Chain A
Amino acid sequence: MLLIPCPVCNMARPEREFRYAGEAGLVRPHDPGAASDQDWTDYLFARANRKGVHEERWRHLHGCGRFLVVTRDTVNDRVLQSVPA
């Protein structure tokens, strides 16, 4: 169980109040019609799946409802930073 600091509510809250929302920093192709199949594949499916420091989106679903960008070490699950998305 993670303890995730919510910068909006200004307190650390248990993981169960949050919903994981995937890797942070994925950008949807700006011009969908011009994007190639490979662009779509990269956006929709390819993930860094980093072993180590990972930036990810969480939503404080049962709290303020805001999306956050949480930096976490995926080896020891320690949350290093949490900022509003």
Chain B
Amino acid sequence: MRGFSFLRILQESVSGHRGWREQWRSPEPRKSYDVVVVGGGGHGLATAYYLAAEHGVRNVAVLEKGWIGGGNSGRNTTIVRSNYLFEESAALYEHSLKLWEGLSRKLNYNVMFSQRGVMALGHTVTDVQVIKRHVHANRLAGIDAEYLDPRQAKAFCPILDISRDARYPVLGASLQRRGGTARHDAVVWGYARAADALGVDVIENCEVTGVRRDARGAVSGVETTRGAIGTGVLALVAAGHSSVLAGMAGLRLPIESFPLQALVSEPVKPVMPCVVMSNTIDAYMSQSDKGELVIGAGTDAYPSYGQRGSFQVASSTLDSLCELFPVLRRLRMMRSWAGIVDVTPDRSPIVGPTPTPGLWLNCGWGTGGFKAIPGSGHLFAASLAAGRPHTLVAPFGLDRFSAGRLIDEATAAAVSH
């Protein structure tokens, strides 16, 4: 792999840009691999990259049924933050945020990580109490968090309506200045390119159709649309389709898949200097570098694999945003879509081994997986290489549901996050 540099751009610009090559190979699948990762999204590619880069495990394949980053990695609202309530989650997401901070340099690929600040609004007295509790918990855990009064919130995001008679009055807000956004495609491409350079086979258009197990029940390989592939370690990192894949190995997961919607507006001049989210009205908004407002809405009330979502879910978010930001009322929406998110009962991920020998899970990131990509990949790779869960992900094992040790971010945030 030839790195990107200013010198390289200069060279190419004088030679007619004929020297740029594809950023990763399109290899034919081999007969077998040491580790097979199912799912070529951010989490799967990061897992493969860190396996090769930090643990010397290079005989790895990433199988993707479509094209890399074509699932939830390309459908999310790209928000990165680490201000979770519980110690276990805070440690996990903070680990990820620290990796984000050095990611562009590490991958030699500009992931456009912009720490523009993530502000969460409170509209009721209860909201404010919850927000203050979060801020205190975060500070105790060593994570940057601030409480803002309404005027400070407006100073941070000037288009916010903080008048007292607003439909959703702003009574207070939390702010994580180190939070922000990143460019979702660049993250996936950067990891794919870096993993490929270390010898990982990134295999697109290769859907897993079955899981092979040997006489003692251990995983021995997978069947795919491009033939059978042998492996002793099978890592399922397939987000919304985790239940379908686990079902091929005879496993029933504590997961339900829901459509989560997002929209983008027509591009406008810069109006939003930060990310604003509000749990009460199920809305997230930031402005992309192209000028589009990127808006996240809620999930449907019922599980579904249709990547659309119901109209009333998106329209109720837009109604609320027009109340919060009156300046947006005449803005037109260009596109809307949904990603299928894998939601666990406690809204915390499942990372670790399963009762089936050789079968590992990294799923259940639900509505907030994008921010976790580097941390998830890093810690999952360490777990796969060592054969046991890394300390930071150990609390997130599948066994927590029978042990009753739920990490209940569901009640902490009350909604999708």
- Residues of A within 8 Å of B256, CB to CB, are 47, 49
Q: Which of B167-175, B266-274, B280-288, B303-311 makes up part of the contact surface?
A: B303-311
Q: Are B255 and A1 in contact (CB under 8 A)?
A: no
Q: In whole angstroms, what is the CA distance A54 to B308 when docked?
A: 18
- Residues of B within 8 Å of A48, CB to CB, are 243, 252
- Residues of B within 8 Å of A77, CB to CB, are 304, 306, 308
- B357 at interface (Cβ–Cβ under 8 A)? no
Q: Are B257 and A15 in contact (CB under 8 A)?
A: no
- Residues of A within 8 Å of B252, CB to CB, are 42, 46-48
- Residues of B within 8 Å of A30, CB to CB, are none
Q: Are A20 and B304 in contact (CB under 8 A)?
A: no
Q: Which residue of B lies closest to A48 (CB)?
A: B252
Q: Are A15 and B310 in contact (CB under 8 A)?
A: yes
- Given A1-B312, A15-B301, A75-B306, residue A51 in contact with residue B401 (CB < 8 A): no
- Residues of B within 8 Å of A38, CB to CB, are 402
> Which one, A19, A42, A51, contacts B305 given CB within 8 A?
A51
Q: Mark A33-70, 1 if CB is under 8 A from B, else 0.
A: 00001101110111111110010100000000000000
- Residues of B within 8 Å of A37, CB to CB, are 402-403
- A10 at interface (Cβ–Cβ under 8 A)? no
- Residues of A within 8 Å of B308, CB to CB, are 77
Q: Are B303 and A74 in contact (CB under 8 A)?
A: yes
Number of interface residues of B (CB under 8 A): 23
- Given A16-B312, A41-B401, residue A49 in contact with residue B302 (CB < 8 A): no
Q: Mark A1-25, 1 if CB is under 8 A from B, else 0.
A: 1100000000000011001100000
Q: Are B311 and A49 in contact (CB under 8 A)?
A: no
- Residues of B within 8 Å of A74, CB to CB, are 257, 303-306
Smallest CB–CB gap between B272 and chain A, Å?
A: 30
Q: Are A20 and B301 in contact (CB under 8 A)?
A: yes
Q: Mark B391-417, 1 if CB is under 8 A from A, else 0.
A: 000000000011100000000000000
From A38, A42, A46, residue with most partner B Cβ within 10 Å: A46
- B217 at interface (Cβ–Cβ under 8 A)? no
Q: Are B312 and A51 in contact (CB under 8 A)?
A: no
- B66 at interface (Cβ–Cβ under 8 A)? no
Q: In whole angstroms, what is the CA distance A48 to B254 when docked?
A: 9
Q: Are B345 and A1 in contact (CB under 8 A)?
A: no
- Residues of A within 8 Å of B58, CB to CB, are none
Smallest CB–CB gap between B283 and chain A, Å?
A: 19
7 more A-B residue pairs beyond the given contacts A74-B257, A77-B308, with a C-beta to C-beta distance below 8 A = A37-B402, A38-B402, A51-B243, A51-B305, A54-B303, A74-B305, A77-B306
For the complex of A and B, the 9 pairs showing the least CB-CB separation, nearest first, are A45-B254, A49-B243, A46-B252, A41-B402, A20-B302, A37-B402, A20-B301, A45-B401, A51-B305
Interface positions of A (Cβ within 8 A of B) = 1-2, 15-16, 19-20, 37-38, 40-42, 44-51, 54, 56, 72, 74-77
> 13 pairs across A/B with beta carbons < 8 Å?
A38-B402, A42-B252, A44-B401, A46-B253, A46-B254, A47-B253, A47-B254, A47-B256, A49-B253, A51-B243, A51-B305, A54-B303, A77-B306
